[in-house]
Structure formats: C-alpha cells, structure tokens
Structure 1
Amino acid sequence: MRRSIPSAWRKVTNAISRYPLVWILLLTVLVIIAIWPFPSLLIHGERLTEADRLKAVADTRSGVIATLTALAGAGGLTYTIATFRLGIADRLIQRFENAAKQLGNANETIRLSGLLAMAQLADESSHQRQACIDVICAHARLSSSQESSETSRAAALRVIIDHLQADARVSWSGSDFDLSNIVVVDADFSGLVLSGGSLSFDYAKFAVTSQDRTPWRKETVSFAGTTFDGTDVTFRAATFGSECHVKFDDAVFADGRVCFDHAQFEAGEVSFHQARFEPGCAVTFKHATIRDQAELVFTNADITGPGLSFVSTDFAENRSGAGNVTFEQAKFHGRIRFDNAIVDRVIDLRKVDWQDATLSLDTTRFNSGRLDLRDATGTGATISLAGAVAGAGQILLSEESAQLFRTTGHDRPADFFGQESWLPTAQSMPQATFNGEAVQPPTR
C-alpha cells in the first residue's frame, strides 16, 4: 500500500537517515551563525554608541533565538505529523496483510472474518479502497471453483451489494468491480443506482451449480429496478445457463454501457419486463447467441433507439419450442437495430407500439426464422431491409399492421413477407404498399 508522504519530505528524511552526523553538524553551525555573528551583521554600519550597539545586538539576538525556537517547534510538529501518518500507513499495511491472509485460510469462519476486515479497511481508507475491493472481488472469483464454498462467494457479493445501496453507510459507488469468470447462483443487485466506475461479469456463468437445490426451483439473479447511470457494466462472453432466471425487470438504462457482446444464452430466462432503454445508454448484444431453450423477454419495455442493439446477434433455431424471444406490447422509438443478425427462430414483436420507429434489418439473414409484427400500433413505422437476405424466413404482418409499415432499402421487399400479411383470397386481398408502390404477396 502506498504511503502518503510528500515526495520532497521523503527526500529530506531519506537524506537525514543516510547521513545523520553530517546533518547534525551542519544544523549546529547554522544555529551558531544565526545566534552569534548574524545579529552584529544586521546592525553593521549603524551610527550607535557602544551601549546602544550592545543593546541592539542583544535585542536582535533575542528575536533570532525566538524565531529559531518557533521554527524548531514547527519542524518538530511537522516531523511528528509525518511520523504519525507513517505509523497509520504501517498499521493499514499490517491490517491489509492480516485480512488477506485470513481470506486465504481453509477455515470458512476465518475467511468470513477476513472478508469483513477487508471491507472495514476499505470503508476507513478511501485512498486504499480500490485495492481492498480488488481483493474482495478476487476472493469472489476464486470462490467460484468447485473446491471452494458457495458461502464465501455469496458473502463477498453481499458485501459488494451492501456498499452499492443508496443508503450505504460508506458508498463504494464509482469504484471498479472485477467479477469476471465468477459463478453466480443467487444474488440480489436490485434497486441499485450504478453511477461511475465499472462492473464486469465477463465470462461469468449464471447457472445453478448447487448439489442440494430444489429441482423445480429457479434460482434468481436480480437487477430489477436498478438504474444504470454511467457505470460500464459488461457481461461479455457470459453464459446464462439452465434454470437460472436473471431479472432486469423495471430497470432503467439511462447512461453509459451495458454489454452482452458474445454472450451465450443457453437456457433459462433473462427478462427485461417493463425496462426502460434510453438513447444515452448503449445496451448491446453484438455477436451474442440465443440458443434453443433460452428465453429473452422484453415485454412492455420502453425502448428508444439506438439504446438497444442486436447487431450481429445469432437467434438460433428453436427446435424444442421451449424458448422464446419476445417484445410483445413494447414501445419502440427511433431506430432499433437487428443489422447483420441471423434469424433462425421466431422473434415475437406482436402488439408493439411504433412511435416514429425504424426496425433496422440491414444485411440480416432470414435463414428459417420469423419476425412476427402482427397487431402493431402507432405511427411512422419503417422497416429497413438494405442488403437483407430473405432465405426461408418470413416477416409476418396482419392486415392492419401491413398498412402501418413502409419499407426501405430493398428492391423486392415482398419477398420477406409471409402469406399472413394478406387475406387468403385475391378478391379480398388489400393492396400492401412498400416504398410507395403496390406489391403482391409472394408466391409459394
């Protein structure tokens, strides 16, 4: 731990400790000069009687002695303060080392004591807080191994969460938390306001690993109601596994970045029900993969582009029918990007309220999946299909929603739209309009 001694004072103290006799001799000579010849030199040249001269020298010498006494007192006080600070720093180092040793102990009770001691040290020393947080995060990561106790990991997460609460006695908000590669089974990050610093769950595993868990019980990791307001939060290459429910319900993504790039949604459910995505916060799923049984839920969310982005996301084929990707009854504003995505499953966009919103599907590949846009409402809805590849996929529109959307960027937009976009008979078939031109439904 770095000692907070000014660099100039450190140089002086180092020189004194290296050559003490030289400094003592030099200081003695300076004091003798200041007390004996210096007062006579100050009054040299003055026209005084011998008695007046002797009195002036005595008065000047008394003033010099008083000044030297004051300087000596100030120097002694400064040295005492520096020594006191050095003592505090030494004690902090000792406490840090003792707590770190306890965290590495095989006994779980001793590890918990070390964790609490490290947290107390972080509370008391703002200068050393980040170092203490780094050790606590490292303890949480190491406790994710099979040999370590889940209790230690849960306790470390609890300490971190408690210090990010709005009413925390000492707030750690704005610090950096590295929880990469951690296994998260059950944790409650709900209701936090994350502002400044970073929170990394890169390569983390959100999955049930407990051997004695109830088979039917879904473990929950909750960020419900949390406000992301400037903290750099990353779930890069994280895995969301079986029976785990990760909740971002009612969360507010106001500013900063929340990154799910390269994440693997294997199974379980990740929900953003009634969450609010604002344009100042980049929530990205770039190169993420949503696999067979994974559920990704954005029902009733309020989404303003470009806050939420699925650029290059792989919506993998849903063979079992157990998983779901749904935006049902969400509100879209601005440009919502699915550019360069691979669509091999149903993406449920039914009953979405489009308010001057653009669904960007530029260079998207519809291999076999479908985008269900039926029963859409709102005004100013646009579908951008520049460079998109139809494949065997479809975009489903009801009769009403077919009149709501216009398309841009593709010469044959009708190639993307399934039969459900139109009525079944030619006599009752309405004219669907794309880019201002009437088109007929594609033939099968």
Structure 2
Amino acid sequence: MPTAGNIAYRAQFRIRSAIIVRAITDYLRPDAEYSWSTSDFDFRSARLEDVDFDRAAFCNLPRFDNATFTGNARFVETTFTDRASFAEATFTGNAVFGRATFTGNARFVETTFTDRASFAEATFTGNAVFGRPRSPATPISAGHVRRRCLVGKHPSATGIHDHATLVPRPDSFCRIEP
C-alpha cells in the first residue's frame, strides 16, 4: 500500500521531470538563445508525461526507444533532421506529429498507440518504417501512406494519419510491416 511519503515523492519526481523536459525542449526550439539542437538525445526507456516538443529541432539522433509517453505527446512542427527512433515506444494519450518533418530515417517499429495518433501533414523524406504494435488498442488509418508506399498488406496499419506525405526519393521507402 502506498504511503503518504511515497505519494509525495512520486508527485515531486513528476514535477522535476516535467521541468527538465520543458527546459530541454526550450533549448531545442529555433528561438532559443543557445541551441541544443545538434546534441544527441537519449530518452530510451524514459517515462515522459504530457510532453510538448512542438517546434523542436533535432539535428542529430533522438532516441525514444522503449519510452513510455503518458498523457499527450506533442511533436507539432518538430523537425527530425537525422534519424528518429520510436521503436517499441508506448503512447498512452494522444500522439500528435502534425506538420512534423522527418528528413532522415524514422522508425516506429513495434510502437504502441493506445489513443489517437496523428501524423497530419507530416513529411517523410527518408526511410519510414511502421511496424505492428504489441497490443493494438485503437485502429488507426494508414491512408495516404498506405496508398503511396505499402510493402505487403496489413489490414489495420498503425500510427499513420491520412494526410502524411512521403517525398519520393529513389533510395527511400516506407514500409508498414504485417
């Protein structure tokens, strides 16, 4: 049974974590006085609560593998210049990647979305791989991406909004794995 001390500790931990992530995000935005955009960020296995990475610029590899996003996760107008990896990440709230730009490879293999996932007007110019989730709770349409680049067939492709755009390149591919 949780004690009052444990509950207070968890609340303080959540507040500190939110402050740290907000500070990191502030230094990833274009108007930051000192930019951290060229740094590598390793959020593997992190627990991130109600994160707002809107307008952040990741110039090097951000790794969100096995991360758990509780609450809403916002990546609106976020730029991923190098690779971006969300392999085996779990999103328990809305995941919004509206107008995000993925210039390098994007990996969403085994990513779980338990609520709404939106990639409205997102652009993928590198390779994009979306694998099946470990436990699909909500069917999500593959829409435009399915029509443009599906390799194989997957009746309930996950994690892609109807209006995502793939910029064709001879060496690029998008795969929704069965």
TM-score over 0.5 (shorter chain): yes
Instruction: Report the counterpart of residue 160 of structure 1 in structure 2.
Output: 24
Q: Structure 2 vs 1, CA of residues 311 and 176 (structure 1 numbering), >3 Å: closer, same or farther?
A: farther
Task: State the AA in 2 paired with 1:256.
Answer: G
Instruction: Report the counterpart of residue 178 of structure 1 in structure 2.
Output: 42
1:276 aligns with 2:123: yes
Instruction: Report the counterpart of residue 3 of structure 2 in structure 1.
Output: none
1:149 aligns with 2:13: yes
Instruction: Report the counterpart of residue 256 of structure 1 in structure 2.
Output: 104
Task: State the AA in 2 paired with 1:262.
Answer: E
- The correspondence of residues 15-414 of structure 1 with structure 2, limited to 5 A, is 146=10, 149-195=13-59, 197-207=60-70, 219-230=71-82, 232-241=83-92, 244-253=93-102, 255-265=103-113, 267-278=114-125, 281-286=126-131, 288-289=132-133, 291-296=135-140, 315=156, 328=162, 337-338=175-176, 341=178
Structure 2 gap segments, 5+ residues each: 1-8
CA distance, structure 2, for counterparts of residue 236 and residue 312 of structure 1: 20
Task: State the AA in 1 paired with 2:48.
Answer: V
Q: Structure 2 vs 1, CA of residues 149 and 275 (structure 1 numbering), >3 Å: closer, same or farther?
A: same
Task: State the AA in 2 paired with 1:203.
Answer: N
Task: State the AA in 2 paired with 1:249.
Answer: G
The one of the two structures with greater contact order (alpha-carbon pairs below 8 A, sep at least 6) is: 2
Q: Is the 8 A contact 2:77 2:101 kept in 1?
A: yes
After TM superposition, give the deviation of residue 233 of structure 1 in Å. 1.9
1:196-234: CA deviation from partner (whole Å, max 9, x where unpaired): x22111111122xxxxxxxxxxx321101112222x321
CA distance, structure 1, for counterparts of residue 152 and residue 91 of structure 2: 19
3-state secondary structure, aligned to 2:38: coil
Q: Is the 8 A contact 2:81 2:104 kept in 1?
A: yes
The alignment's TM-score, normalised by the length of structure 2, stands at: 0.74
After TM superposition, give the deviation of residue 163 of structure 1 in Å. 0.8
The alignment's TM-score, normalised by the length of structure 1, stands at: 0.33
Q: Is the 8 A contact 2:65 2:87 kept in 1?
A: yes
Structure of higher CA gyration radius? 1
Q: Is the 8 A contact 1:272 1:298 kept in 2?
A: no
3-state secondary structure, aligned to 2:110: coil
Instruction: Report the counterpart of residue 377 of structure 1 in structure 2.
Output: none
Task: State the AA in 1 paired with 2:27.
Answer: H
| Alpha-carbon RMSD | 3.5
1:119-178: CA deviation from partner (whole Å, max 9, x where unpaired): xxxxxxxxxxxxxxxxxxxxxxxxxx9586211100110111011111111111111111
Task: State the AA in 1 paired with 2:86.
Answer: F
Q: Is the 8 A contact 1:165 1:171 kept in 2?
A: yes
3-state secondary structure, aligned to 2:81: strand
1:364-421: CA deviation from partner (whole Å, max 9, x where unpaired): xxxxxxxxxxxxxxxxxxxxxxxxxxxxxxxxxxxxxxxxxxxxxxxxxxxxxxxxxx
Q: Structure 2 vs 1, CA of residues 180 and 174 (structure 1 numbering), >3 Å: closer, same or farther?
A: same
1:47-88: CA deviation from partner (whole Å, max 9, x where unpaired): xxxxxxxxxxxxxxxxxxxxxxxxxxxxxxxxxxxxxxxxxx
Q: Structure 2 vs 1, CA of residues 262 and 149 (structure 1 numbering), >3 Å: closer, same or farther?
A: same
Select the structure that is richer in helix: 1
CA distance, structure 2, for counterparts of residue 302 and residue 166 of structure 1: 29
Count of aligned residue pairs for this structure pair: 166
Q: Structure 2 vs 1, CA of residues 181 and 148 (structure 1 numbering), >3 Å: closer, same or farther?
A: farther
CA distance, structure 1, for counterparts of residue 47 and residue 161 of structure 2: 28
After TM superposition, give the deviation of residue 184 of structure 1 in Å. 1.7
Q: Structure 2 vs 1, CA of residues 285 and 179 (structure 1 numbering), >3 Å: closer, same or farther?
A: same
CA distance, structure 2, for counterparts of residue 260 and residue 148 of structure 1: 31
Q: Structure 2 vs 1, CA of residues 194 and 315 (structure 1 numbering), >3 Å: closer, same or farther?
A: same
